[in-house]
Amino acid sequence: MNKKLYKLMNWPAIEGIIYSEEDNPHEILGAHVAGSSVLIQTFQPGAKSIRIQPEKGDKSYKMELADEEGFFAALVSGKTIFEYEYLIEYEDGSLKKVKDAYNFKPQITKEDTDKFNAGIHYNIYEKLGAHPMKLDGVDGVYFAVWAPNAVRVSTVGDFNGWDGRVHQMRRLWDSGIFEIFVPGAKIGDCYKFELKVKGGLTYLKADPYAFGQQLRPDTASVVREINGFDWEDQKWMKNRKKAQAANAPMSVYELHLGSFAKPEDGRIFYNYRELAPKIIDYVKKMNYTHIELMPVMEHPLDGSWGYQVIGYYAPTARYGTADDFMFFMNELHKAGIGVILDWVPAHFPRDSYGLANFDGTCLYEHMDPRKGCHPHWGTLIYNYGRPEVKNYLIANALYWIEQYHADGIRMDAVASMLYLDYGKNDGEWVANMYGGNENLEAVEFLKHLNSIVKKRDDGTLMIAEESTAWPKVTSDVEEDGLGFDIKWNMGFMNDYLSYIQNDPYFRSGSHNNLTFSMIYAYSEKFMLVFSHDEVVHGKATMLGKMPGERKDQFANLRLTFGYLMTHPGKKLLFMGQDIGEYDEWNEERAVEWNLLEYDEHKKLNQLMADLNKLYVTTPAMYQRDDSWEGFEWINCITPQACMLSYLRKAEKPEETLVVVANFANAKQDFTVGVPFEGKYKEILNTDAEVYGGSDMVNSEVKHAIDKEWDGKPYAIEMESAPLSMSIFSYTPYTKEEKAEIERAKAEAIRKAKEEEEKRAAEEAARITALEAEAAKEAAQRAIEEANAKAKAANEAAEKLKKIKAGKTTAVQTNTKKASTTKTSTAKTSTKSKTVKKKV
């Protein structure tokens, strides 16, 4: 070897490269000015000879073999570094031209790494990962990865025979980031990162920031370009904030792309491009406003449904490429359909090629298993206190929002993030610094994420699957809330299903389960959900949960859909339930679309379509969803009747709806209090024949009765079919109708008055006649009494006469006797006086 060349070479560093333990190979490899010459060094394992071929001129330079492992060097006169490529001859005689990967400057700046290490580089996915680009006129791919504790990191892939010695990466100062530009690497190439850690262990890892992954069971990352798609959804994006406002309707169709439909040509999955029109047709037909996709991020196990993610930045290869998924999103938006993506920042699987023990240390997870793993799920928990981990997740959410135009992010398992003891027994968790069970780092992460989404992408929805009573989930971060827009209402789902699964005969005893949701309905901004979690693992489908015989099951489910759509809150229903599947969902089969060939399933499906249409076109059903001003009980305290009645109210009184639900399996007649005078028309009845019911409907318009009922000034009387719901619209009387009603009332009053006067006159005449008859009878009685008295008087007179006649004779006789007696008495008295004188 040339002595000058020998002296210019850094042999300890060269040894580090040969043994793959050098973390700054760019300092040695490539072209470097050395005095008056240019020193060019390369490591090409397996090469027999190498010549340097300058881009300009015909002259080439043979390189000297400095180490038999394949390290070559050459000294070229001149102080100017020139463009060149290597012409490599291998032992088998094959030739290959290769651009030098070590002549390119880092594309990551110190500012980038400082922001990343602080956890605030929200576009870090534009720096880390694999990025096709042209540098200095050379096409290739720029690779970068964060692995601070690795001894050495290499990029391996289709472009270098998966040899970790060929493209050893450069550590950027103290950032923990390794990078390299690989000329000749291209879109579609598979690659991984080879890490050598302390102790000498060497292994492969998939790229955490890869935009593409191989289809399982293969595990390599794939170079993808995401910047070339021609979006055509500008109209949707412009109007999205208004369309997704709190006072806008939102009815979500949750689906799993792999089992929405299955190809009939032997393939396992449809492509994103094939799925788009199928989903659009159905969603538009059913009048849903949004779809929610179960996780589309790459995951190794079909049976995890996407909830154990490996490739957070890669749309799953099951259905195509990143470009294919952009097409899917674009088509949905052009059709006026919003797309919410399910996202899993709570945990990740232990697969050896994923994030677990990434650089030989617990980089993304906690070292302490009491903090770093879910014992029940067997997965690992993110270390939310590490800025780079937090940055990884925040940037990922923004990536789906900004690069794929996602309209919302539904965050899975938020409760498991908030509580340190979630799913753990005593001794399996560590308290926070204050001795509590709150995960303070996760709380800060959620607030940070939600606040930055609001700042950068206002109008995008952040939705929490949070199943506890953690306060202020949907309150603003400035008010010490978590900052979500919507929270899944798991309480409503659990309470309602507990109620409806009872036989109607016993429902009165659990009436509180039916109404309790309104106690807390406005404590958060809720979405009512009957999701995939409720139709798996032996829980039965929505139809299968319903009690009774088949017709009763369908009636109960129709009633359930009615209650879902008229209860305050946004709506979500999992695929297959709106056609009445009996079989639990299984990711290996498609939705049982053939059920729509049967009348009862087809009619149930029609009901859901009509309920959605009514919902999105009727302001009372959504306009005041998060305020008591939008809802009012009419009657919720009649458990023995298993009935409810309530109002849904909009800004205009004439848009008010009256809802009456009969949860009893018996026909009932109800008098229902209503707030306004006017007409009430039944606009939907779940028992209608068109929906598979008995057609016991209220076909005639109900005019409000002027009487107080249920605390309301008016009432309507209606008939309620068993297990049914009736929805009435309200229409005020027009001026003409009101005038006619007033005229009719006046006429009725006049007629009533005339009738009353006539009745009074007739009553008076009757009384007069009765009085005359009574007078006549009294006169007759008087005459009879007078005659009787006269007769009695005559008889008395006659008797008196006779008596008098008898008395005259007696008097004469007595007179004579009296005279004789008197004479005798006088003589006796004279004699008595004579005696007294003598004495």
Q: Which of 125, 131, 127, 182 is nearest to 158 (CA)?
A: 182
122-145 CB burial, b ≥16 within 10 A, e <16: bebbbbbbbbbeeeeebebbbbbb
Catalytic pick among 189, 207, 388, 412: 412
Annotated active-site residue in 23, 365, 465, 495: 465
SS3 290: strand
- Confirm if 488 and 570 have CB atoms less than 8 A apart: no
**Contact yes or no for 14/67 (Cβ under 8 A):** yes
Q: Please answer whether residues 545 and 503 qualify as being in contact, where contact means their C-beta atoms are separated by less than 8 angstroms.
A: no
Could you tell me the pLDDT band of residue 617, with boundaries at 50, 70 and 90?
very high
Distance CA 746, CA 739 (A): 10
Q: In terms of Cα–Cα distance, which of 215, 76, 207, 223 is closest to 141?
A: 223
- Smallest CA-to-CA distance from 101 within 56, 154, 162 is with 154
Section 722-741 average pLDDT: 93
The secondary structure of 689-737 as a DSSP string is: GGGTS------SPEEPBSS-BTTBSEEEEEEE-TTEEEEEEEEPPPHHH
Q: How many CB atoms lie within 10 A of CB 683?
A: 13
**By C-alpha distance, which of 172, 175, 170, 173 is closest to 117?**
175
| Cα angle 651-656-658, degrees, rounded to a multiple of 5 | 150
pLDDT value at residue 781 = 84
Lowest mean pLDDT among 309-323, 600-614, 781-795: 781-795
Cα–Cα dist 764/605, whole Å = 68
Q: Which residue has the higher pLDDT, 790 or 249?
A: 249
Q: How confident is the model at residue 615 (pLDDT cuts 50, 70, 90)?
A: very high
Helices 322-334 and 234-243, interaxial angle, to 10°?
60
Question: What 3-state class would DSSP assign to 97?
Answer: strand
- What is the C-alpha separation between 529 and 247, in angstroms, rounded? 18
Contact 384, 436 (CB under 8 A): no
pLDDT tens digits for range 578-608:
999 999 999 999 999 999 999 999 999 999 9
Catalogue the E-assigned strands of 401-545: 408-411, 461-464, 486-489, 526-530
Of 508, 476, 486, nearest in space to 572 by CA: 486
Which residues on neighbouring strands pair with residue 134, listed in sequence order? 139
Q: What is the mean pLDDT of residues 95-99?
A: 94
- 727 pairs with which residues across the strands? 659, 684
pLDDT for the residue 808: 59
**What is the per-residue pLDDT for 821?**
47
Q: What is the pLDDT of residue 666?
A: 96
Instruction: Give residue-wise pLDDT tens across range 199-231.
Output: 999 999 999 999 999 999 999 999 999 998 999
Helix or strand (DSSP H, E) at 30: strand 30-34
Helix or strand holding residue 156 (H, E): strand 152-157
Q: Is the pLDDT of residue 516 over 70?
A: yes
Give 628-673 pLDDT, tens digit per residue: 999 999 999 999 999 999 999 999 999 999 999 999 999 999 999 9
Six token digits for residue 812? 């004469």
pLDDT tens-digit series, residues 178-204: 999 999 999 999 999 999 999 999 999
Q: Is the pLDDT of residue 779 over 60?
A: yes
The structure tokens listed for 658 are 């009256």
How far is the C-alpha of 5 from the C-alpha of 143, rounded, in Å? 31
Structural element, H or E, at residue 118: helix 110-118
Q: Which of 692, 636, 641 is nearest to 666 (CA)?
A: 641
DSSP state string for 506-531: GGGGGHHHHHGGGGSTTTS-EEEEE-
Q: Report residue 825's pLDDT band, with 50, 70 and 90 as the boundaries.
A: very low
**Mean local confidence (pLDDT), 496-514:** 95
Neighbours of 785 (CB within 10 A): 11
| pLDDT value of residue 812 | 56
Strands in 447-501 per DSSP E: 461-464, 486-489
For residue 438, the 8-state DSSP code is: B
* Tens digits of residue pLDDT in 160-175: 999 999 999 999 999 9
Query: With 50 as the cut, is the pLDDT of residue 838 above it?
Result: no
pLDDT at residue 829, rounded to an integer: 47
- Name the band, by pLDDT with cuts 50, 70 and 90, for residue 814: low
Q: Indicate the average pLDDT of the chain.
A: 93
Q: How far apart are CA 88 and CA 95, in angstroms?
A: 6
Strand-pair partners of 530: 573
Bond into 568 cis (ω within 30): no
Q: Which residue has the tokens 């309480």?
A: 491
Q: What is the pTM of this model?
A: 0.88
Higher pLDDT, 793 or 602: 602
Q: What angle do CA 444, 450, 455 make, to 5 degrees?
A: 125
Task: Tell me which range, 1-15, 39-53, 787-801, is most confidently predicted by mean pLDDT.
Answer: 39-53
Distance between CA atoms of residues 220 and 596, nearest Å: 41
CA-CA-CA-CA torsion sign (107, 109, 115, 117)? positive
In sequence order, what DSSP letters do the residues of 391-410 get, joined into one string?
Answer: HHHHHHHHHHHHHS--SEEE
552 is catalytic: no
Q: Which of 724, 723, 706 is nearest to 715 (CA)?
A: 706
Instruction: For Cα atoms 561, 567, 569, give the angle at the middle one, nearest 5 degrees.
Output: 110
Taking residues 450-462, what's their average pLDDT? Answer: 95
List beta partners, residue 43. Answer: 71
Strand partners for 103: none
Q: How many CA atoms lie within 13 A of 634 on its CB side?
A: 28
Task: Report, as an integer, the average pLDDT of 448-452.
Answer: 97
Q: Is the pLDDT of residue 122 over 90?
A: yes
**Residue 769 exposed, middle or buried by CB count within 10 Å (0-12, 13-18, 19+):** exposed
Asked whether 451 and 477 are in contact (CB, 8 A), the reply is yes
Q: Are 384 and 298 in contact (CB under 8 A)?
A: no
SS (H, E, C) 312-358: EEEECCCCCCHHHHHHHHHHHHHCCCEEEEEECCCCECCCCCCCCCC
Contact criterion met (CB below 8 Å) for 61 and 52: yes
CB 167, CB 182: distance < 8 Å: yes
Separation of first and last alpha carbons in the chain = 218
pLDDT mean over 573-581: 97
Query: Across the strands, what pairs with 462?
Result: 409
How far apart CA 153 and CA 202 sit, in angstroms, is 9
- Cα distance between residue 660 and residue 683, in whole Å: 12
**Position 751 pLDDT exceeds 90:** no
Predicted confidence at residue 271, as pLDDT, reads 97
Q: Which two tokens stand for residue 761?
A: 């006159």
Written as six digits, the tokens of 329 are 């999103």
Do the strands 221-222 and 251-255 form a parallel or antiparallel pair, or are they unpaired? unpaired
Contacts of 174 (CB under 8 A, 6+ apart): none
Distance, CA of 292 to CA of 272 (rounded, Å): 15
Residue 836: its pLDDT value, please?
40
Q: How many helices (H) and strands (E) does the chain have?
A: 17, 36
Report, as an integer, the average pLDDT of 759-787: 86
Structure token pair of residue 449:
């994420």
Specify whether the CB–CB gap between 184 and 122 falls below 8 A.
Answer: no
Q: How many CB atoms lie within 10 A of CB 705?
A: 15
User: What confidence category does residue 380 fall into, taking pLDDT thresholds of 50, 70 and 90?
Assistant: very high
Q: Is 342 a catalytic residue?
A: no
Q: What's the confidence (pLDDT) of residue 754?
A: 87
Which residues lie closer than 8 Å to 788 by C-beta, 6 or more apart? none
Tell me the pLDDT band of 98, cut-offs 50, 70 and 90.
very high
Is the predicted pLDDT of residue 124 greater than 50, yes or no?
Answer: yes
What tens digit of pLDDT does each residue of 384-440 get? 999 999 999 999 999 999 999 999 999 999 999 999 999 999 999 999 999 999 999
